[in-house]
Amino acid sequence: MKVVLENLTKKFPGRGKTSPGVTAVDNVSFEIPDGKLVGLLGPSGCGKSTTLNMICGLEAPTDGKIFFGEDEVTKLSPELRGVGMVFQNYALYPHLTVEENIRFPLENLKKEKKLSKAQMKEKVLEVARLVQTEELLDRKPAELSGGQQQRVAIARALVKMPKVLLLDEPLSNLDARLRIQTREEIRRIQRETGITTVFVTHDQEEALSISDMIVVLNNGAVQQMAEPQMVYDAPANLFVAKFLGTPQINMFEGRVAEGKLYIGDEAVMAADGAKDGDVLVGVRPEGFVLDENGGLAVELNSVEVLGRDISIVAKHKAFVGSSLRVIVDSENLSMIGNGQVRFRLKPAKVYLFDKTTEERIRL
Amino acid sequence: MKKNNWKGWLYLLPAILFLGVFMVYPLVDVFIYSFEEGYNSSSQTFWGTGWYNYLYVLHDPYFIQALKNTFILVLITVPLSTLLALLISLGLSSIKKLRNMFQTIYFLPYVTNTLAVGLVFMILFQTTEYTDGMFNFVLSLFGIAPIDFIEGPYWAKMFVLCFYTVWVVLPFKILILTSALASVNKNYYNAALVDGTRPFRVFRKITLPMISPTVFYLIITGFIGAFKAYSDAVALFGTNLNVAEMNTIVGYIYDMLYGDGGGYPSYASAAAIILFVIVLTITCINLLISKKHVHY
């Protein structure tokens, strides 16, 4: 089931008459293709959870429309939308066993949809098998590990075979190892069921690793929607470029003149197609190549050996931010002396941004 | 046992001393008194030991009356007050406007002076030369003849006592239950909403189990408190409760110690032990039941 958001806006009223209130989601429109796994990515407070809650129906939008397929569901209550939701803290009922928890949504079905006990049992087993928790059915949630609770929560959300599965920060309560395991698990379950899935995360690695599509949000507005690699390789604006990638992208004050890009006084690469004038230049840490004749000269601060790579911390007078970080292959270690190092830039890893609009200037 | 264990005991000493002198010793003493036959408090002598005190108390019509009153009071007020408190707290937690105002109103009886409360109940129920009381006035609107609630028939007096008791214990229960309801994580309700759970089922399958520890706490303390009822009856019917047929077990114990025919610490002790056994039994039954129904 494809999900379409049209000019979705959510305003929360302020407290008292004087406070203006908050616009959590501001005119958001995007389309989630059928059967895809989509990550809503953004810093905390960017409106991603509010967006998810509106898709779910837990929160009513102030303005805008939501479609599931061709049907508008904006005003439908959650149970009529056919969504399954996995909450951040799982919200498993602590007094019920795993089996009772998973069965709970089925017991709510009314009239012609009503299932017999045997049918329920079969459905519960089927979904438990899917999330690999069939041996835990008799346990209470408190007796499960975080990862197992997560899987039970997914099973409960899936048991009614929803048209859309929603996950709110699904991995944030898990430790680092379980996180990697569980995200692959989510990916696998999504693939097997083919249910359109939307999940919310503030963790870029999480979003990049399992999503088919990423929607980057900030201040309640969509910054970019694209495939994971595209979001990283072709950021739409300064925010996206800065938000994705660890170590963070390096920002320089730059200038375009006569088809050349200048950082400081030196021309570092060609910049055909850009208008002359001041720009912000972003260079990914891996976008530097050691080259004695390279255009960019930096003052060396320290060199950190990471095994496969080396991380160079350096200074440059046009650099904006706290530390300029360059990652190069460790084979280059011998080429790094003291004092000044010169780099050539990989054009694909260099992005120009307008200084005022912070939009990307395409070359 | 580790060394330095005496240090722990040293820290416990003040509490142990106080509890020992003021709690354990009197308890043991009461137990001993209850078996001393013909105890004379002025000469501090007795002529034998045995079950006579218990037999006397259990055959005393005043005690039987008190026992009956106490049981009726407990069986009516504990379930009724808990249920009412639950309904009111559910109502309170589902409204937004004026919630604080209602919460304050419901809590007022808890902080109101007993004398003022007594006065209110006088106005409600007392029959005087000038009026039959507010309650009778309301009844008269439905064409019901006035009833003397303070000195009239037994059931009328019992009704007033139960009414009063429920009214007095309600605020505390509402307070505890509203905070229990507020502490249920909102996500459970959201999850239930997404699953399309009907409101009554949400209450029965989610809310009630989640607050069940609190409910059972209230039931157990409610039972214990109601078994120890005394002051409420005095506030309504005066100190001569035996004549009013409204005595309670604790009232009987008090009368045996200090009442008109007082000076019988042995009978009082025996009655106190009987009360203790009753409360213990009921509490054990409660705990056994709660194990089956309280989650966590």
Nearest residue of chain B to residue A168 (CA atoms): B187
Based on the structure, what is the number of domains in chain A? Answer: 2
Of A235, A266, A301, which closes a domain? A235
Residues A166/A168/A173/A178 CA torsion (nearest 10 deg): 40
Of A235, A270, A285, which closes a domain? A235
> What pLDDT, in 10s, does the model give residues A329-341?
888 777 777 788 8
| pLDDT score of A213 | 93
Q: What average pLDDT does chain A have?
A: 89
| pLDDT score of A271 | 82
- Looking at the domain assignment, is residue A111 inside a domain? yes
Question: Contact A84/B194, CB-based, under 8 Å?
Answer: yes
**For position A53, which CATH number holds?**
3.40.50.300
Mind telling me how many Å the CA of B183 is from chain A's nearest CA?
14
Quick check: helix, strand or coil at residue B37?
strand
- Burial code (b: 16+ CB inside 10 Å, e: under 16) for B18-52 equals eeeeeeeeeeeebeebbbbeebeeeeeeeeeeeeb
Domains and CATH numbers, chain B: 61-293 (1.10.3720.10)
- Alpha-carbon distance of A319 to A343, in angstroms, equals 14
Asked whether the predicted pLDDT for residue B259 surpasses 80, the reply is no
Q: ipTM greater than 0.90, yes or no? A: no
| pLDDT score of A236 | 92
More confident residue, B264 or A87: A87
Q: Confidence band (pLDDT; 50, 70, 90) for A37?
A: very high
- Residue A322 Cα to chain centre, angstroms: 25
Asked whether the predicted pLDDT for residue B3 surpasses 70, the reply is no
- Average pLDDT, stretch B185-204? 89
Q: What is the SS3 string spanning B137-160? A: HHHHHCCCCCCCCCCCCHHHHHHH
Which candidate from B188, B201, B296 shows the least CB-CB separation from A91? Answer: B188
- In a 10 Å sphere around its CB, with 0-12 CB exposed, 13-18 middle and 19+ buried, how is residue B134 labelled? middle
- Looking at the domain assignment, is residue A202 inside a domain? yes
Mind telling me how many Å the CA of A144 is from chain B's nearest CA?
14
Q: Could you tell me which residues come within 8 angstroms of residue B136 by beta carbon, excluding any fewer than 6 positions away?
A: B125, B127, B146, B147, B149
Q: A93 and A193: one domain?
A: yes
CA atoms within 13 A on the CB side of A189: 27
- In a 10 Å sphere around its CB, with 0-12 CB exposed, 13-18 middle and 19+ buried, how is residue A311 labelled? middle
- B38: alpha, beta or left, given left = phi > 0 and alpha = psi -120 to 50? left
- Alpha-carbon distance of A247 to B149, in angstroms, equals 82
B200 to chain A, any CB pair closer than 8 A? The answer is no
Of A235, A259, A281, which closes a domain? A235
| pLDDT score of A281 | 93
| pLDDT score of B273 | 92
> What pLDDT, in 10s, does the model give residues A253-309?
999 988 889 988 888 888 887 888 899 999 999 999 988 888 888 888 888 888 888
Domain range for A336: 250-361
Q: A312 and A174: one domain?
A: no
- Average pLDDT, stretch B245-251? 88
Q: At what angle do helices A117-130 and A146-158 cross, to 10 degrees?
A: 130
Q: A231 and A321: one domain?
A: no
- Residue B123 Cα to chain centre, angstroms: 24
CA atoms within 13 A on the CB side of B54: 12
A305 secondary structure, DSSP code: E
- Average pLDDT, stretch B159-184? 90
> What pLDDT, in 10s, does the model give residues B101-152?
888 888 888 888 777 887 788 788 877 777 777 888 888 888 777 777 777 7
- Looking at the domain assignment, is residue A244 inside a domain? no
Mind telling me how many Å the CA of A161 is from chain B's nearest CA?
12
Question: Contact B195/A160, CB-based, under 8 Å?
Answer: yes
% of chain A residues with pLDDT over 70: 100
Q: Confidence band (pLDDT; 50, 70, 90) for A181?
A: confident
Q: Of A158-162, B88-92, B286-290, B292-296, which range is least confident?
A: B292-296
Question: Contact B195/A108, CB-based, under 8 Å?
Answer: yes
| pLDDT score of B2 | 60
Stretch (H or E) spanning A200? strand A196-201
